[in-house]
Amino acid sequence: MTLPTADPMATRPPAEVYEEEFVPALFRPFAGAVLDAAAVARGQRVLDVACGTGVLARAAAARVEPGGSVTGLDANPDMLAVARRLDASIEWLHGRAESLPLSDAGFDAVVSQFGFMFFDDRVAALREMKRVLRPGGRLAVAVCDAVERSPGYGALAKLLQTLFGARVADAFRAPFAIGDAARLHALAAQAGLDGAEVLQRTADVRFGSVDALVAAERACIWTLGGLLDDAQFDALRREARRVLAPFVRADGRVAFAMPALVIVARKA
């Protein structure tokens, strides 16, 4: 009899899993596109909303020096603890996107990467981002496009549905829930972001192996965290090796394209 295999990643702190697994695989590849959309440049003051462990804020800091500054804000103290450890030169603030603890018109650019879909009140968050922008400042807010437009994640979502049903599959689909340009345009309009655009940008998702991808998703508290026991994890890992085989390279690494949608607006 084969016993279920325990997953060491499942016991690691979520913020550490986020920084060590998802940042290099997913979040770092999109940082440049988000900063480009916000026209972040030397000497600017930049706010990163829902900064997580700080990958976008760190990339922004490299662009604004000399003479600029970056503030990262997140509602999760554990994420901020990792961010502070990695770069103490950036100002890290605890707070919610819907009620930014910042004064009006204090930033040249406001950016946010893959947090917007989890906000309690998305319109309020966009209004707050607009409030803290100076006149002429730009914001760029990135979300995952629909899961069906990401071949690897789309295949994994279908597999989860087949193996475990809608509850688990829908939990995995949560980050992709507002991947619709028309919906994002409507939210921007409600927030008073006149003339907002929604751009599509694509980057490759890369993990060291199919097993590493599956383990990272299982450990993610925003999707599959706590939903799969060890036996289910083993079943998912076995089937994912088959389903994701088309995306596995000769060295065992897995890579596939993932599109994102970026709300871009300029404050009049």
pLDDT tens, position by position, 222-246: 889 889 999 999 999 999 999 999 9
Which pLDDT score is estimated for 1? 38
> Which pairing describes strands 254-266 and 45-49: parallel, antiparallel, or unpaired?
unpaired
The CA distances from residue 225 to 10, 19, 38, 40, 197, in Å, are 8, 16, 32, 34, 34
Which pLDDT score is estimated for 9? 59
> Which pairing describes strands 254-266 and 133-144: parallel, antiparallel, or unpaired?
antiparallel
- In sequence order, what DSSP letters do the residues of 74-108 get, joined into one string? ES-HHHHHHHHHH-TTSEEEE-BTTB-SS-TT-EE
The answer to whether the CB of 102 falls within 8 A of the CB of 47 is: yes
Query: Does position 3 have pLDDT exceeding 70, yes or no?
Result: no
User: How far is it, in rounded angstroms, from Cα 17 to Cα 63?
Assistant: 26
Query: Does position 4 have pLDDT exceeding 80, yes or no?
Result: no
- In sequence order, what DSSP letters do the residues of 12-30 get, joined into one string? S-HHHHIIIIIIIIIIHHH
Residue ranges of the domains in the chain? 8-266
Query: Does position 142 have pLDDT exceeding 90, yes or no?
Result: yes
Mean of the per-residue pLDDT values for the chain? 94
The second-level CATH assignment, the architecture, of 8-266 is: 3-Layer(aba) Sandwich (3.40)
Beta carbons within 8 Å of 149's beta carbon, 6+ residues apart: 179, 259
Tokens, residue 201: 């940008």
Which pLDDT score is estimated for 2? 41
Q: 23 falls in which pLDDT band (50, 70, 90)?
A: very high
Among residues 224, 204, 202, the alpha carbon closest in space to that of 214 is found at 224
Least confident of 16-20, 50-54, 114-118: 16-20
Sign of dihedral through CA atoms 115, 196, 148, 209? Answer: negative
